[in-house]
Amino acid sequence: MRNIVYYNVSLNDTLGHVADGTKLDIMALIAITLKQSFVPDEIRNKMNSLRKDGIDPRGIEHSGRWENLMSSVIFCLCGQVPLRQEVLRGRQIMMALPKELRTIENAEKIAFSILPYVLIGFKTHLDEYFQADSNIVADVATFIASLHENPTPVARSFLCAHRGKSLTEKHILIDSVPVKKAQVTLNLIKGVLVNDPWATSRSIRWYQQGSTEWACLNMFPEMFLNYLTSGRIALLLSLLRKHFVQIHEVMATPDPNQINTGLEDLDKVTLEVLSFLAEKYGEAWRLTDFSKSTTPKDALVHTALEVTLPEVVRLMPFYSAMQPGKEHQNKKTLYIAQNIESAPDSSPEQTDLIRRVIERFFEVQVMHPTAKALYETAFYYLWGQRCATRKVEIAIGIDRDHNRFQHVAWEHGYHACGKEGVATTLLYARRTAERSDGTALSDYCLRQFWR
């Protein structure tokens, strides 16, 4: 008998015929799904061809049977149809596992329980080099192997500002987080963790920007400018507060398998990064041109200059510290006055928050571009470092962008701690460039679930 713990990770409403957290035999799950009218002929034929026995969990013998079963399970969980190449990635991941995990006994524990969720959630490629929005097969195998050594995994992820767009405005926050999509992303991580056969307890922690003075550090500058120049900072803060509450409610829902889930304010991490940089590079690090600094260029600065800086330049706002200081400060004073006056809440607490939010924005924008690149690099460096020093942590990326600097910085931080034993790695969940309602697995998107 091959059992799987079911969590609905479908982006539409066609699935959900089994309760989240239910443990059942995979053939029973397939039989339930076969009764539904929406099953495409391609998948229905594969399901009907399945036999309960005679399937090698490693996919070595009778590989066609293995592929049919994997395709069927993937469809049962998410309602998307995988390409054969995507199913083959599963066999390649199994072959890339350490030898002790490739035994029949361990392969049975992995192949049709945790692996389908991994294939649904993480796009993969074979080449040993970085590709945006994809993960190296060997890294996915490393990720699974690390769970074997970690009986109490804690999955940590960071969220971006929930950006949307209207007919008249491009850079705005959405009015409300699509709770269904947030739940699907959470369910995917739950599916991975609860089907980890070696875990005795499981936790998930997401970090979301709250309605605080550091709001500008975790959104595009153009978005903040849109609210700032139109006197709507109070609205921006209100939306951030609303989004935090909505995600918190999703995370606070009790799980039938006792997975501990929670949402924390991203300020905790922001302040940690700022403190780290001030201690390492001095209090004036924000104004330092690290490309010309006499300070020795360590690996972190090198990554910031060579890998991260091009991305940071892309995100610079329409104006910067190149303006004369007096004019710059006059604009800040004017914007503070306008936004306080237009705020519906005139309480001292709200007035003070609006003032501090705008002041922080100007502080960030006078950062030298190389310093901003260093900040972005340090964020992922410290994430990797935390995973190395806090052995229970695993890293799953669900924030919008997936760039090479994130991967390089995270790996640098992880290995800088001299991590011993089985390593882990940072995996990024699936994301499509454009929204799609297609039925292929390649149309499936977990990151940026708010759009």
pLDDT in tens, the chain (451 residues): 589 999 999 987 666 689 999 999 999 999 999 988 789 999 999 999 987 778 899 988 889 999 999 999 999 999 999 999 999 999 999 999 999 999 999 999 999 999 999 999 999 999 888 999 999 999 999 999 999 989 999 999 999 877 766 545 667 888 888 899 999 999 999 999 999 999 999 999 999 999 999 998 888 888 888 899 999 999 999 999 999 999 999 999 999 999 999 999 999 999 999 999 999 999 999 999 999 877 778 999 999 999 999 887 766 654 444 444 455 567 889 999 999 999 999 999 999 999 999 999 988 888 888 999 999 999 999 999 999 888 899 999 998 888 999 999 999 999 887 655 556 789 999 988 766 677 889 988 888 765 5
Q: What are phi and psi of 366, to 5 degrees?
A: -85, 0
The position carrying tokens 């049975």 is 108
pLDDT at 222: 81
The structure tokens listed for 144 are 């699974």
Please list, residue by residue across 367-377, b when 16 or more beta carbons sit within 10 angstroms of its beta carbon and e when fewer do.
bbbbbbbbbbb
pLDDT at 439: 87
Whether 432 contacts 134, CB under 8 Å: no
The structure tokens listed for 209 are 């920007």
**What is the bridge-based pairing of β-strands 163-164 and 172-173?**
antiparallel
From the number of C-beta atoms within 10 Å of its C-beta (0-12, 13-18, 19+), residue 186 rates as buried
Whether 339 contacts 233, CB under 8 Å: yes
Contacts 24+ apart (CB under 8 A), 350-357: 350/234, 353/211, 353/212, 353/213, 353/237, 354/233, 354/234, 354/237, 356/213, 357/212, 357/213, 357/215, 357/216, 357/233, 357/237
Residue 188: enclosing H or E segment and its boundaries? helix 179-194
pLDDT at 17: 81
Domain boundaries, the chain: 1-151
Please list, residue by residue across 83-101, b when 16 or more beta carbons sit within 10 angstroms of its beta carbon and e when fewer do.
eeebbbbbbebbebbeeeb
Q: Where are the alpha helices (DSSP H) in 212-347?
A: 221-229, 233-252, 267-281, 299-303, 309-314, 325-342
Show Cβ contacts of residue 214 under 8 Å, excluding neighbours closer than 6 positions: 266, 267, 270, 271, 360
- Strand spans (E) along 137-243: 154-158, 163-164, 172-173, 203-208
CA dihedral sign of residues 428, 160, 170, 373: negative
